[in-house]
Structure 1
Amino acid sequence: MELTQRQKAIFQAIVEEFIRCAEPIGSKTLMKLLDFNVSSATIRNEMATLEKYGLIEKTHTSSGRVPSRKGYRYYAEHMMISELDESTKAALGTIFNERHMSLDEAVRKTSEILSDLTNLTSIVLGPDESTQTLQNVQLIPISSQSAVAIIVTNTGHIENKVFQFGTDVSSKDLKTCCELMNKELTGTPINKVVDRMEEIKPLMSANLVRSEVLFESFVTAFMRFAEEKVAVSGRSNMLAQPDFNSIEKLRQLMKVLEDGKLFQEWTDQEGNVAIQIGSRNELIQIGDVSVITTRVHYKQEEGQLMVVGPNRMQYSRVIALMDYMSDVLEDVFDDKGGQDDERRNE
């Protein structure tokens, strides 16, 4: 399918105006939008050709046309220009440069920013620690009732956790606990550490005065560490989209967004259409919903940024934001950039 320059201009005008107003686009409206002179009859003929190609379709309520699912894919692949203005880049860069963020904080903040700037729902997945193994544990006392635990994985990921014990724990207990855990748990997959701790619980009881306190603290820490880091923001933004005026459809969508497993099944179901946009973005069409995904690399790990909205989303801005945000995140958590986890948690 090869479009003429005039057909491309008409099709682009239909897509971008429909994204803006959510109303079917007719030939008279197009006459005002195009930057060249052409008759209404000629526009209608070209629209008929675009409809034959499956790029636009007629609605039941108007003589105007709207982009089809295929049309949105063609626009995203061949016609979209995704550029972010410099003022937005500067503002986003400042948010991350002024604070030393943990990975959890960065994931949550990125999700909030994406939903705010797109007026859609954003989902940010951090790396899944369940695929990593424990490399080392350090315990640093703060007071007689608190300590900092530094957990290091085989990929170099570092997680800091402050423990408030609620009772006195001796430095000797902390030292012995640290030595015992490094001896017994090093090389254990993060998602298996809690099970392994249950196995060495008698050993901890035999060697530690405050074994129960230390055991419960570490079990809680590792359970949280092994969970997939996910942040969802802007669910309510779907309420403002005219594309989701069906209460039942909106209820089902909200249910999917609340549950990570349901969301995965939803995006993987048969019948979805997925296309690659550039080297790192993917567009998944699920009925009248689109999901834009962008991969982010954290050292040796991988996460994902996702924006969920109607097929009638502003693709150029959404993808430009996601590209820039993924670059910022990779820069923040790149060892070569000189901002490693230890510095961020000082």
Structure 2
Amino acid sequence: MDLTKRQEAILKSLVERFTCTAEPVGSKTLIPLLDFSVSSATIRNELALLEKEGLLEKTHLSSGRVPSPKGYRYYVENLMEISLDESTEKAVRAIFSRRHGSLEDLTKISCSILSEMTHLTSVVIEPEQSRQTLVQLSLIPVSDRQAVAVVITSSGQTEHRLFSFDNSISLEDLKRCTDLLNERLKGVPIEQLADRFEEMRPEFAADVGRSEVLFEAFMSAVMGFASGNPKVYGRANMLAQPEFTSMPRLEELMRILENERLFFEWTTTADSVAAIDERSKLIQIGDCSIVSSAFHTLGDEKGQLMVIGPNRMDYARVLGLMDYLSEQIEKTFGPENKGGQCEQESVEKNAGSGKEAGGKDIRK
């Protein structure tokens, strides 16, 4: 649709005003928000035309109007100015400068920042399993009866599991176990590991002492990747949104966020999907909006950061923050960043010595 410059200015001001107040916006409220002089009657006429185009909706008998899902989409695609204020960028940069670790650590930090700074719910979907392969398995002794199983993938992801044993396990058995698994499984796609483990079970039992307990330790660590559930942060933020005061609506949303199958069905059968740029997109589902920002890791696997909230969200600030966080992840673990490769190699090297990347000894 073709809007005039004046109509676009009115729509932009109305969306941004409603985002702040959650109250229907009338013509008199818009007058001081516009950069040009115009009468209240003229604004009312333009609002009526925007409503006719399906970009605005009228609430009950009130003369004020609110953006429709179509209006929000037009705003995001054509009018929004993505921004991140300097103080926010400085605060986020300071947080990242103090943090070193795995890809999971970085995405967890990113989602926590998103939830806290937007007061909405954030989600991370890790890079696709189908394109990740096993780089290294390690079983690190913590004590005579405890060990940490560590799995490292080609994207730099790690999974740790601490296990306790009824009886002590010798270092010789631990070494034989890890050597055998690395010899047979290195380079195997993550999604195939569970099946390959099962195929190895008889050989494992014949060659390794205490094989069953060691086998289960590694299997459990591998299944930490296989679960693949979206990780959700800031669920309670939904309670503060007036759009979700209906308990049945809130319960439905919480159920979707807790169920991987429902979540992916929900986000892939959306009523409306808008590409914002090469990295980001907007998904609209009824009175809910999901903004996603993609990030790429080693091997060019792709993950996503998401923010879920009402249609009435501050899209410009949310997208500015998400873009910045995605860029920070790629600076460390991106496909063209040697720093990410060094970080992964550090994890692999330290796994054998009982240390995490960054030199922290996990046996203490």
Q: Identify whether the pair has TM-score above 0.5, normalized to the shorter chain.
A: yes
SS of alignment partner, residue 3 of structure 2: coil
1:124-160 deviation line (CA, Å, top 9, x unaligned): 112233543334434555654455555444x353536
Q: CA deviation at 1:304?
A: 0.5
1:236/1:140 CA distance change after superposition, 3 Å: closer
The residue that corresponds to 1:295 in the other structure is: 294
1:192/1:278 CA distance change after superposition, 3 Å: closer
8 Å CA contact 1:125–1:303 kept in 2: the answer is yes
Match of 2:338 among 315, 332, 336: 336
Over aligned residue pairs, what C-alpha RMSD do you find?
2.3
1:175-224 deviation line (CA, Å, top 9, x unaligned): 22123213333443323323332332232222222222311211111111
Paired with 2:170 and 2:19, the residues of 1 have a C-alpha distance of 63
What does 1:97-136 align with in structure 2 at a 5 Å threshold? 97-136=97-136
1:275/1:162 CA distance change after superposition, 3 Å: closer
The residue that corresponds to 1:286 in the other structure is: 285
The residue that corresponds to 1:89 in the other structure is: 89
Equivalent residue letter for 1:275? A
Q: CA deviation at 1:280?
A: 0.9
The residue that corresponds to 1:24 in the other structure is: 24
The residue that corresponds to 1:311 in the other structure is: 311
Equivalent residue letter for 1:240? A
What does 1:159-174 align with in structure 2 at a 5 Å threshold? 159=158, 161=160, 163-166=162-165, 167-174=167-174
SS of alignment partner, residue 304 of structure 1: strand
1:15 maps to 2:18:
no
8 Å CA contact 1:107–1:231 kept in 2: the answer is no
Number of aligned residue pairs: 344
1:250 maps to 2:250:
yes
1:156/1:24 CA distance change after superposition, 3 Å: closer
1:152/1:64 CA distance change after superposition, 3 Å: closer
The residue that corresponds to 1:43 in the other structure is: 43
SS of alignment partner, residue 290 of structure 2: strand
8 Å CA contact 1:127–1:228 kept in 2: the answer is no
8 Å CA contact 1:296–1:303 kept in 2: the answer is yes
1:39-75 deviation line (CA, Å, top 9, x unaligned): 1111112212222222212121411111111111111
Paired with 2:57 and 2:262, the residues of 1 have a C-alpha distance of 31
8 Å CA contact 1:96–1:332 kept in 2: the answer is no
TM-score between the two structures when normalised by the length of structure 1: 0.91
1:160/1:54 CA distance change after superposition, 3 Å: closer
Paired with 1:158 and 1:173, the residues of 2 have a C-alpha distance of 26
SS of alignment partner, residue 194 of structure 2: helix
Single out whichever of 289-298 and 2-11 deviates more from structure 2: 2-11
The residue that corresponds to 1:220 in the other structure is: 220
Q: Give aligned-pair identity as a percent.
A: 50
SS of alignment partner, residue 292 of structure 1: strand
8 Å CA contact 2:102–2:157 kept in 1: the answer is no
Paired with 1:50 and 1:185, the residues of 2 have a C-alpha distance of 60
Unaligned 5+ segments in structure 1 are none
8 Å CA contact 1:160–1:345 kept in 2: the answer is no
TM-score between the two structures when normalised by the length of structure 2: 0.87
Moved >4 Å (runs of 4+): 138-150, 162-165
Unaligned 5+ segments in structure 2 are 348-356, 360-364
Equivalent residue letter for 1:66? V
SS of alignment partner, residue 122 of structure 1: strand
Paired with 2:120 and 2:204, the residues of 1 have a C-alpha distance of 49
Paired with 1:148 and 1:237, the residues of 2 have a C-alpha distance of 35
1:123/1:273 CA distance change after superposition, 3 Å: same
Paired with 2:55 and 2:197, the residues of 1 have a C-alpha distance of 58
